[in-house]
Amino acid sequence: MPVIETDSLLADPQLLRKAHQVLAFLVHFYVHSIPPDVIFESMVIPRPLVTPLMAVSQALRIAPVLTFADTVLWNWELVDPKLPVTLENMHFGRYMFSGTEAERNFYHGSARTELVGAEILNIINEYHNLPNVTEISSVCQINKLLERLSLAIEDINTSIQAMREEVDPRVFFWETRPWWNGSASGDSAPAWIYEGVADTSKLDLSGPSAGQSSIMHALDLFLDIDHKLQQRRYPAPSESNKKADHGFMERMRRYMPGKHRAYLEWIARSPRPLRNVAQETPAIREQYNAAVTTLRKLRDRHMRVACLYIVTMSRSTRPPPGCPMAAVMRRMEREAARQGPATGTGGNELALLLKAGRDATTRAVLPTN
């Protein structure tokens, strides 16, 4: 099989995104279509897939594997190209693995939260455009921005809740999610080797995760949520908090398009962090705390949804053989029997991770006395 050249794509970001998406989907199709009775210590991905994927990934500054951007951000088309980009005018799941409505609706629901999140980016930009955050007029404006922020977070919360009505947990877990697994996604899952790459172990190959959403990262940075436990805040982290993967959020940024990552770095370098301003300005504190509390409620909701779709389903019995995904399911069931606690797609103990994120959000609340 020939190795396609990618030089003609380098000047067109849209073509680069499309190439990354198609090649990444093909890599996951290749890996997860191996018969279930074939066992490898390592999975070699052939050069015709690897070489162009590595080239376009380098150009986009994104991980050379399937990502949240491939499955959600770039995985849609307009129903009517003459009409504006709205949720009603977008068809999701242009590329899918299982072809199920559960998979399509999952992509649709994830994209819905991203569209709602556009308001969050507007709020962040408006805050940073304020000339002087200590003036009375600016304080009033910041309070209005924080009110809008709480509403936007609540809209995301509502969107997550709606997915429970739209995505069948069993179909999601057994027929869709296995396709997303990346390299060494469990204790018994083989590591991937990219043919022609000097050291594949240095590549980020975990697969897509909601943790790769730049909207949520931007929100955390804006509100100064300390996931890495670097600040002394109260209540003190619990023992389970300390056991969680504190580098998860930072690592997930490597799976984002380079421009998204650069935007997050810009927020992190802010000369006037919002939490510091709220700490020094009592008139802002109440609205800041309200926004943080709304985010904590969102993470509570996300924990319940993740428990239903992953933790509970990981303990359920797989569907009977005969369906198109029977082979993949048998492989996954065999591997799951040798794995530990339920994990997110990126290979993390899910319950610890989500609880630590929720508790880190709680610790961002400022004292009001």
CATH number of the domain at 160, please.
1.20.58.480
Q: Is residue 368 part of a domain?
A: no
Proportion of the chain above pLDDT 90, given as a percent: 71
pLDDT over 50 (residue 262):
yes
Q: What is the pLDDT of residue 32?
A: 92
Please indicate if the annotation marks 108 as binding a ligand: no
Q: Is residue 49 part of a domain?
A: yes
Note the Cα 190 to chain centre separation in Å. 23
Q: Is residue 369 part of a domain?
A: no
Provide the residue range defining the domain that includes 94. Answer: 7-362
Q: What distance in Å separates the CA atoms of residue 180 and residue 191, rounded to the nearest whole number?
A: 14
Q: What is the pLDDT of residue 323?
A: 43
Q: How many domains does the chain have?
A: 1
Q: What is the pTM for the complete model shown? A: 0.89
pLDDT over 50 (residue 322):
no
Residue with tokens 């990346």: 182
Q: Is residue 1 part of a domain?
A: no
Q: Is residue 353 part of a domain?
A: yes
Q: Is residue 2 part of a domain?
A: no
Could you tell me which residue, 323 or 49, shows the higher pLDDT? 49
Q: Is residue 331 part of a domain?
A: yes
Average pLDDT, the chain: 89
Q: Is residue 179 part of a domain?
A: yes
Q: What is the pLDDT of residue 243?
A: 77
What value does the mean pLDDT take over residues 15-28? 98
